Structure 1
Amino acid sequence: MDNTTWLANHTGGGSDFILLGFFSQSTHPALLCVVIFVIFLMALFGNIILILLIHSNAHLHTPMYFFISQLSFMDMMYISVTVPKMLLDQIIGFKKISVPECGIQMFLYLTLGGSECFLLAAMAYDRYMAICHPLRYPVLMNHRICLLLASGCWFLGSVDGFMLTPITMTFPFCRSREVHHFFCEVPAIMKLSCSDTSLFETLMYLCCLLMLLIPVTVISSSYSSILLTIYRMKSTEGRKKAFTTCSSHMTVVTLFYGAAIYTYMIPSSYHTPEEDMVVPFFYTILTPVLNPLIYSLRNKDVTGALKKMLKVGSVF
């Protein structure tokens, strides 16, 4: 048997996947399409504005805002990997996605999701250094170290993508090609395989356990020390500022990790197809639009920079 025949037998003749998505179950698909499009634009412009503010205002050239700009860039890419394809398919009535396109979407999604996991941990570590070691902070968190931490986050995220994507896409798919999802997520694709995937599911569980456990440990340790330091502070203003900064980050962490743990850590037998679509909606679509709001509306430095930019723009 030659390679072409083998590939045809193990991929259903090279046929495409069909992404059923949200719209197939909605009673008002046109309205839902408009709502998601508006959310997508809000996420895109919100993150672009935040990045421009951080890079154009010298007052925001600090490690904390460097990591926030990285988070905004990840969120822009994150939502762009899934939503445009979903909206375009709904508009033109084409729900198919080829096997290579599905693999690329899966790889980008896993890489960005993994990178964001570690970036949130790096942001917690940055807040720990700033609040618990303020005198040594400029040295311990200089620009070179920030670049190394950000690069490390991207690298570790890509490891996740390079490890899980090839294995998932090489399984034989001889069942229905209909994916009960709005993008090519690993658990949804694995349900279509006609082979025993239990070993891979165990591997994926252990991989995700490490991807989540390491950042969560860093975040928990950092914030335990931060809360203890805040409690010991004599300045009420200092306490308020530290708590406001950290609560914004914890809001983002809770939204992102909560949904990710449900999807990848809880066995698929406890999920319904509807839940498998709704839960990822939170961290793929809602989180990217909420992050700029959380980090700007609750931050006087960012709102001040925005007012300054608008004032300059009104002069011209």
Structure 2
Amino acid sequence: MMPPASEGETLLALDLGGTKLLIGEVDSKGRILHSKRYPSGMLTQRQATELMMASLDDYLKTSGLVGGKPAAMGVGLIGLVEANQGRWLMIDPGRKEEIRLAELLERRYGYPCRVENDVKAAALAEQRFGAGQGISDFIYLNIGTGIGAGIIAEGRLLRGWQNDSGEVGHMTVDYSGGTPCPCGRFGCAEALASGGGMDRRLRLLGQRHPDSPLLNLAAHGFVSAEEIFTYAEADDPLAVKIAIDAADAAAELILNLVRVSNPERVVLGGGVAGSAWMRRELPKRLKLPVMDSVRHGVVLSDLDPAAAGLIGAAAVGLGAQS
């Protein structure tokens, strides 16, 4: 269970993503008192650790602390994290270096510190401040550039022995389509329904639709899910194929997860899940008896997407007090 929060206390929060680092101070109700953004990019773990410390030094010097001395520090990180021991194990298989990050930050700044994977941190934010409040069993499913989940079971975050639970984007949802996934399998939900997967699919399927305007976009870089959905609404055949398959895959993933963990609620986060296309198409695919047990329904996160990572890091910081 989440530890109690004292009225008036604040948490120092760091949210490290693939393109940015957010640092801020968050109060006991999940309200961001002040924050500052720093660019990150394609870094090694060591480089990212140095960036976090240099940026935090700058933040404390230039922004200061609104609430005096924070009760604790929380960090949300991309990649694999061993939270109980405060170790950041890897960003991805090509960027892998064990760093005892919580211990390092505690020594440098003097605050109790806890670190966590960013999606698990978001699940803790939903439990503490969002759509998971008062619910003992729910799934937080993030469908964005990639796909990941945080599963709360009997009030506790499900971790697995390596703290690697929730990698649900690599559950196969399409056995016949032959869509390759970077993980080495075929038909994974992430290969079909994530923003990154949809961009890769348009390049794979583009030769069958040489007149699609999506190919012009692809020639100039990454094509977002929102762009693909916009062209799907305009009946571009390539976009329609990718968009329908994405909605089918996301629905199948939700149905599978419901059967595995029997949640009271499914909370959706991430830019793809929040798109108008998915908000319209997903409910059509979830009108099945298996969903009757989800008594509090499938809902979009009501946490501000731009701030959810920072709020999640604050929720992680609360665990440093227990």
Given the two structures, how large is their TM-score scaled by the length of structure 2?
A: 0.34
Whose helix proportion is higher, 1 or 2? 1
Q: Which has the higher contact order (CA 8 A, sep 6+)?
A: 1
Which structure would you say has the larger Rg? 1
Given the two structures, how large is their TM-score scaled by the length of structure 1?
A: 0.34
Whose strand proportion is higher, 1 or 2? 2
